[in-house]
Structure 1
């Protein structure tokens, strides 16, 4: 039976797309999840994967044609391997073959009767998040899964997260393919559990024909990502020449770019010197589609600049008192609380003290109203390989420094592993950004709307300063407070930063709540 290839949901307000290119032609064998056609919208370019194994039977929409969401653009029929299921012995006629095939299918269905079929659903991702893009599938049809084992990755406009299997069993159908946009509660896949799970028939059971371009690289058991496959083909790079950095050794587009760059460096010395002819338009450029998360980051940051009357004020702080305190108690602190004593605990506590004195920095504008927050939910900006995320330490003003460090540690690990929930990143009232970990000496951070303030921490650097008429060397850090001048006056902003400076240069104030 043929399986239709349809235009997937393309996101909010996007109703049509243009056929960019077909990666296969009629008659070509295809594998489930293999990119088969590229669609272009006014916002993004996406690759539509094959819904099952088989042979490309028909192409209904040609390159350049505009198609609507849900439109039929092609069909996949059973390949030679699938047809073999209906063959019998050489001395049987066609009718006997059909009867044998029907009996075989009946036996398969019977063997799967004992298996309970459960659905893998798109989980609730938090307030205001109603849809997500299907990212990488870690399993394919026919694979066994354990309870709580990651099956598929979803990308929202706020974070990427893995969806685990609710029970152990076998995947019998993948409903939502990579690149599709799905709503909360939608079915992603179906899993057979119970006594018949091992023999439950798979929805996409045609034997896979390994093509050269789809062969897994020697570095892992995952085929290259679609964008990586496309680039390898364009650049003439073999999978064996690329080291994959993705999950289970999967080759990503960045890996191919790195391999191409290294190859270019190796050949540079032996290559003849190029002429000084003008570079053609587009030569040497690489167009990469922005991820959903990166698009959201870009939009929110620009919206903040366009909306707020943003201004930044600076100060510097002598970090020696805090550094001496950490040095004296770091071993005892870690032994008692199970977490290292860092700078973020002190900064977060100092910010909470300052917010109590200057509540406007902890407020937000809603139309013509000002909403003052009588609590401090402190966002901590964390850079990940997929973009900037800001998990929130909730009720930080009610926590001790040890509790703050423990929560920041938990959120940091979850951010790096892609396991942050939407609840972890919502409701922040103020944000701290630590560019110093990357070596930044000074910067002007952008507000995390609708918040009215963000504190930038920077590199600790020994500098000569004047103290009591003498020049001394001290470990100094520049602090930057960006604030919304519509709600926070200059005097309040400067006072806020001075209070943080006082708390850090005299940490006892944090203990005594001064």
Structure 2
């Protein structure tokens, strides 16, 4: 007896979703709880797993199709064995099998690629023919591409770097490729444009001497790792400093709701994380109540979830303030855009040795530019400057964080 495979209940405010990738094809055997299909919403990727050991009988909704909650997308038969069509035929000669494998291991065109695979290949500037394929009939799967990217074939990396650094001289007709935006990318675009249109965004800058934090980290990083089983990074210092600054300037931790200003009595700090599907902002709940080790562990877990497309709606919901670290990509300075309905975002950047004046003398210090973008409708210039200066003071004297001074 067949079982209907349905779209799970979608998160609140999500009307529909898109079939991203089928991991099984009709006739293929499946184990209980094995992932059958990825369904992409504008917030998260949902996995639909096999209800039991059996076979995927029929795919009703193909990759790229739009679906709604509880819509039937496939049929599954529990306890059945894989069809003979999905297994290699023993009658084929070894030469014939080898010839088929050789010709199908490398997709010859984008026509054989699923929409999700095409997006990954395009976004990372890869050549599909260079990626080993493990799917049925030599089909390239999403897992193949992600494994290739994570594995980091040195040849592929160097080739990609070279191609991005050197101009491409077309020897024939100039080609263009049109790739549809992912639902998440479209949602990001909508929110960024909405923020620019609805908020009076202004950015103020300051620089911070990272030497005190770097010295403290170098002194205790090994002991910290041994005690807490997590690396001591810079983000926990900035999250702690941000929370203390938010306590001093409640308007920065507030939001506008119609004609009202909502002051939040809690500190849920969003951390901007770059994943394969785009920028996401998981939220550290009650950051003021967490230790630095707990903050570092939470950030590490968010990073792993983002890379594996495993962030949940609960991970991404809410947030009263955001911290974004563009320095991990080498950014020297930027003007970050606030994440509505929040009223502010802190932008961190790369640390570099620069000459500064201390006690009338020019010295070299590891300096970082900080950018604070805020909604001028609710936060005045005096508050914005004071907020950023408070973060600077805590980072340049991290003992104050522990002493809550």
With normalisation by structure 2, the TM-score equals 0.81
- Which structure 1 segments of 5+ residues have no match? 1-114, 232-238
* Correspondence for 2:204 among 307, 310, 313: 313
* Correspondence for 1:325 among 203, 212, 216: 216
CA distance in 2, matches of 1:435, 1:452: 19
CA distance in 2, matches of 1:312, 1:433: 14
* Counterpart contact for 1:125–1:422, Cα < 8 Å: no
RMSD across aligned positions (CA): 3.5
Deviation sequence 1:176-232 (CA, Å, 0-9, x none): 2211112222233232224xx227999x9xx9xxxx9xx743489x9931469999x
Change (3 A) 1:308 1:128: same
2:45 corresponds to 1:150: no
In structure 1, the residue matched to 2:56 is 171
CA drift of 1:150 comes to: 1.8
CA distance in 2, matches of 1:431, 1:287: 33
* Counterpart contact for 1:312–1:483, Cα < 8 Å: yes
2:400 corresponds to 1:509: yes
2:325 corresponds to 1:430: no
2:292 corresponds to 1:292: no
Larger CA deviation: 141-150 vs 490-499:
141-150
- Which structure 2 segments of 5+ residues have no match? 90-99, 120-126, 133-139, 150-155
Deviation sequence 1:12-43 (CA, Å, 0-9, x none): xxxxxxxxxxxxxxxxxxxxxxxxxxxxxxxx
Deviation sequence 1:436-465 (CA, Å, 0-9, x none): 011100000011111100000000011111
Deviation sequence 1:257-278 (CA, Å, 0-9, x none): x99x97xx9x979x6xx9xxxx
Larger RCO of the pair (alpha carbons < 8 Å, separation 6+)? 2
In structure 2, the residue matched to 1:416 is 307
Paired residues in the alignment total: 363
Change (3 A) 1:125 1:346: farther
SS in 2 for 1:198: coil
CA drift of 1:240 comes to: 8.5
With normalisation by structure 1, the TM-score equals 0.64
Q: Which structure is larger by alpha-carbon Rg, 1 or 2?
A: 1
CA drift of 1:292 comes to: 1.5
CA distance in 2, matches of 1:322, 1:125: 43
CA distance in 1, matches of 2:8, 2:169: 50
In structure 1, the residue matched to 2:228 is 337
SS in 1 for 2:112: coil
In structure 2, the residue matched to 1:198 is 81
CA drift of 1:427 comes to: 0.5
CA distance in 2, matches of 1:446, 1:230: 29
* Correspondence for 2:275 among 384, 406, 414: 384
* Counterpart contact for 1:378–1:432, Cα < 8 Å: yes
CA distance in 2, matches of 1:477, 1:218: 46
Higher helix share: 2
* Correspondence for 2:142 among 236, 243, 247: 247
CA drift of 1:507 comes to: 0.9
